[in-house]
Each structure stands twice: as structure tokens, then as C-alpha cells.
A and B are shown apart, each in its own frame.
Chain A
Amino acid sequence: MGEVYVVTSGKGGVGKTTTVANIGTALAMCGNKVALVDADIGLRNLDVVMGLENRIVYDLVDVVEGFCKVKHALIKDKRVEGLYLLPAAQTRDKSAVNPAQMKEVCEQLSQDFDFVIVDCPAGIEQGFRNAIAGAEKAIVVTTPEVSAVRDADRVIGLLQPTNLYPPYLVINRYKPQMARRGDMLDVSDVQSTLALDVLGVIPDDEAIVVTTNKGEPAVFKNNSKAGQAFRNIARRILGEEVPLMELEPSDGLLGLFKRIVGLSR
């Protein structure tokens, strides 16, 4: 029996889908059988981020409505052994699936896969309820901004009475230089506000835009810092002790001077 994770955030645009694609791919690269499930019915995106959009035949709603079996709707990724995607339907909406059906799909998948990772839609309504229904563990993604942290806190509040509490925290799009000069909430600010364990900090990285343009997760790129951070998260999920990446650039003489005169914290 595999483990079912849901990746959620409350706020849209913080990088849930990118996180699902990269952690999932990295787990498969480590030799695991992984199924990615796009629960964002009506606004599917995980297929595009994974570069699998041209191979969709059946989707999640077809499975739920009994038109096909789960294994027929799964798309096999050709780049990594053991990586599959269950796409969302694009022409339906959240009401096409209910939490009980979602739970059933997750249970079926967890029989055959080591990891099932559900990409949750933004918001806290039915799409969210569906996405979390079959999960055993949750990952909350946020960025170091007031709006994203606020929404993350709301989602954490909703997870509190469930088996998904406490979720893990991923801080995405982090800019170490800005945090250092006091113009961005830093890792400890976000972590202490939300009171969760940090599973990983993903530095802001242009490679994410470039790899997303091409439909290839950044974890394939050895020289991408964000890719490295996602690979580290996968190793932590697999139980390895991996320290948080050193994100601070060495700051040279000017930085040393600034620190001496107390300008830089």
C-alpha cells in the first residue's frame, strides 16, 4: 500500500502544480512508482506542466463515472520509469466528483503505487474537499507573502480537525537576497507564523519558467537550484536526513562590511 499525499495552498498561483510535478518526478527518479492526480476539474494544468497534454484519452471524471478503469486513464511518462498521470476533466466542473468517489480512486491507486500525489485546486470549497478526501498526508505550499501565508493559515485551520494535521510546509519562490536585506519574510518568519515543520524551501529560479515552457519538470536539470531543492524534498519524504540547502550567496567584502555596520541582518 502506497502513501497518498495532497498538495494544497488555499491561494492560487503559489506553485502547487509545479510542486506536484517536481516532487512526483523526483520520487520516480529514486525508483518509486508514482501516480500524480490532477484534482483541479475544469482548470486542468498538471498535464501541461508535465508535458503530457497530447496524450490524454480518459480522465478522472471518466473513471469516477465508470466509463473506464483507473489504469486506462493513467498516462505513462516516457522519461522516467514508474511515473504516471491521472488527468482532470477539462469540460466539467468540481461538482462532477464527490469526496467519497475521490477517496475510492485514491484507494485503488495506492494498491499499485508507492506514492499517489493529488494536486488540489485553489480555494477551500468543494474542489478542496474532494482533493483532500483520499489523502493520508498533506503538503501546504506557500510563498513568503502576506496573502499566501494568510491563505495557508486558513487551509491549515481547515486541516486541523482531520487526519491530515499537521501538514508539511513548502516555502516556494524564496529570494534569499531579499530576505537578507529585510524586504521579504524569511524562512523562520513563515515557519513560526504557521507553526509547521518545513519540508523544503524552493528558491525563486528562472529555470522553473523555462522548464515549464518545455513541459519538463525542473528536477531533470542538474544545475537548477529549484530542481535541487525539489530533489531534496523527495529524499526527505523517503526518510533521508537532508539539511536545508544553503541559499545565501557568499556576500564578499561589501556584505562583510554591511554586516559589521549592522545594515544587513
Chain B
Amino acid sequence: MEIKVVKHILEANEVIASQNRKLFEEKGIYVANLMGSPGAGKTTLLEKTIEKLKETKSIAVIEGDIETSRDAERIAAHAIPTVQINTGGACHLDGNMVRGGLEGFDLDQIDLLIVENVGNLVCPAEFEIGENDKAMIISVTEGDDKPEKYPLMFQVSSVLLLNKIDLLPYLDFDMERFQGEAFKVNPRLKIMNISCKTGEGLDNWFRWIEERTSKKGS
């Protein structure tokens, strides 16, 4: 016999993500889900962001990786609360993994939680974790044709950080093409050109994330 079930296949995840979101709202925590390919510069951007904002905001980080705690060790060296989630093969973080990770924090003490997702341009875009914004980082060495090849991630992101622009003189990266494609896929996307190495453009990003984060007790 036939059973009618009209259900979102990832409904269980969406439910947990919205529970996370409610908890973050209650605790007054702004949450950014940082996504991008392996090697795009996610962890380096995080380190720069922590150094810039840690005096004024109370920051915590969840590091998602398939294996190893290398990134968490890099972040923890900046003396902020860090939780490593090893997905053990899974290509993305989901709501449940993040919920488990939250047990490692005192949420009453956090203003800003940045979740560094598993390095991947596809899968993390599909799984809500309860974040306020998805931020993606891509580097110029990955090529100017990515927005149309990986449209979903560009579409769900609020902000796009184009990293390693100090390398542009050595590459055939067509900036006009890249930005044109990105805007076609997501006209509301905020694009920032940055170099984590030289620091160029990072102030825009710091301001963007600072504006969205409220300080506890202020």
C-alpha cells in the first residue's frame, strides 16, 4: 500500500537548527557559519578576526574538520574558547553536531560564535546549523568561474570574502567575470576583496561582523 509522506528529507536537521537559533537568540549570541574550500583561508581569516575583535567582543569558535584538531589548536592559541568537532568523514557540519559542540561553552559569556565549517564548496550550504549568517570565503587561486559551478553556496551566503588578492598579479583571474557571476547568482551578496596576508580589505569584514555582534551587558 502507498503511504503519503510529504516531508523535507532534512527536516530533523532543520528542527535542531531552529532550536539552536532560538538558544542563540536567548543568549544574545551572533553566529556566523564560515564556509569555503580547503585552503581558501578560513582559519587564517578567523585568526585575524579574533586578534582584531577579542578586546571588544567575547568570541568563541567551533572548528569543524573531518580529522585532526590542528585548526582548533591554532585558534585556541589565541586564548579564546574553542571546540573541535571531527565529523569522521562527513563533509559538513549539521545542527546536531553544533548542538553537541555548544556543551563546551559558557553561552552566557559569548557575544560572537564563529563556526568554521568543513572545507567544501557544496555540502555545508545545504545544512542549517542555526546561524544568523553564512559567510563564504574563496581565494583567487580557485578561479573566477566558481559562482556558476557552485551556485548554492553563493546563493545562501550573506557575504563573500574573496581572499588572496595579493596574488592577482600572478594569475589570470578575471575579477569582472567573477563578480558578475556572483551577483547573477545572488544579487544581494556583499562581496569583499581581502588579503589575509597583507591585511588589505580586512577592515570592511571586521566592521561587517562587529556591526552584527552586540556586546553582553552593554
A associates with B: no
The chain A residues found within 8 Å of chain B, CB to CB, are: none
